[in-house]
Amino acid sequence: MNKVTKAVIPAAGFGTRFLPQTKAMPKEMLPLVDKPVIQYVVEEAVASGIKDIVMVTGWHKRAVEDHFDYPFELEIRLEEWGKEEQLKEVRRIAEMANFIYLRQKGPYGNATPVLCAEKVIDEEPFVVLWGDEFILSDPPRAKQCLKVFEKYGDPVISGIKVEDVTRYGIAKVKHIEKNIYQLFDLVEKPEHGKAPSKMAAHGCYVLTPDIFPILKNLKPGKSGEIWLVDGIKELMKKRPIYVCEIKDGRYYDTGSKLEYLKTVVELGLQHHQVGKDFRKYLKGLKI
């Protein structure tokens, strides 16, 4: 079995929930104290052993590409000013992985950027991570999923138990062992009392290249878009697909305003430089 070394990160959406902020700034670049959202996603992939990061972007996402580039002029200035810590960090960001950038082409929907990466994937298994959400866990979420893939050799999706099933794609599963389940169906945002479980399966996907012919033949689904989950359901008819329930993880969804604000507060409280003073400030608020 080939070792998984490539991750696809779709980052071509317009981020309409955050307009007008995202009119000129990609939603993936929204700051979480001093790091953009997408850096957390890339760091998870790299910590999981991924070497090649395939970013699928659009014409309005140059800031994403620039963030992971070598900022020559900035490096010179930081060196002149003696800002060694900042210099070390900006160099680390550029050196984390081999970054490959593709422009999204094709119909709207989250399956399209995955299909755009087919030629780069080159018949290898790969990971898909969304650019606007992440899980902080030890070991990293992607690494936990890759461990399951290495054992079973079939596609794997990360899972977390949730209380509000109406916000997620909920999995119908059968427990296999420990934190591993076999997937039999995905129900998008079911009503309370109609969910097949409390397992939300999304966010990290270890996929095999046989997903690509399926994605090519997908018909538009909800809202006339091409959806990755529909491709996964078709793939499920041909081979087993597993759900890895992420252990010791905290899920952060930065794709909506409220959840983004919650994430900023939580990570601000954990920040090594400002966390203590930020906590004191929040406690002093008269709410």
CATH (domain of 88)? 3.90.550.10
61-116 residue pLDDT tens: 889 999 999 888 888 999 889 999 988 898 999 899 999 999 988 778 888 999 99
Please list, in sequence order, all residues whose beta carbon lies within 8 angstroms of the beta carbon of residue 31, skipping any fewer than 6 positions away: 264
What element of type H or E holds 177?
Answer: strand 169-177
251-262 residue pLDDT tens: 888 888 999 999
- Are residues 82 and 183 both part of a single domain? yes
Range of the domain at 265: 257-287
- Are residues 173 and 207 both part of a single domain? yes
User: Does 83 fall in a domain?
Assistant: yes
User: Does 1 fall in a domain?
Assistant: no
pTM of the model as a whole: 0.91
Q: What is the distance between the alpha carbons of residues 280 and 272, in angstroms, rounded to a whole number?
A: 14
- Are residues 163 and 269 both part of a single domain? no
- Are residues 44 and 152 both part of a single domain? yes
- Are residues 47 and 26 both part of a single domain? yes
- Are residues 267 and 249 both part of a single domain? no
- Are residues 150 and 163 both part of a single domain? yes
- Are residues 238 and 280 both part of a single domain? no
- Are residues 230 and 277 both part of a single domain? no
The total number of structural domains in the chain stands at: 2
Give one DSSP letter per residue of 194-254, joined into a string.
--S-SEEEEEEEEE-TTHHHHHHTPPP-GGG---HHHHHHHHHTTS--EEEEPTTEEEEE-
* Residue 59 pLDDT: 84
- Are residues 248 and 269 both part of a single domain? no
Tokens, residue 132: 């606007």
200-240 residue pLDDT tens: 888 899 999 999 999 999 888 777 788 899 999 999 999 99
- Are residues 228 and 276 both part of a single domain? no
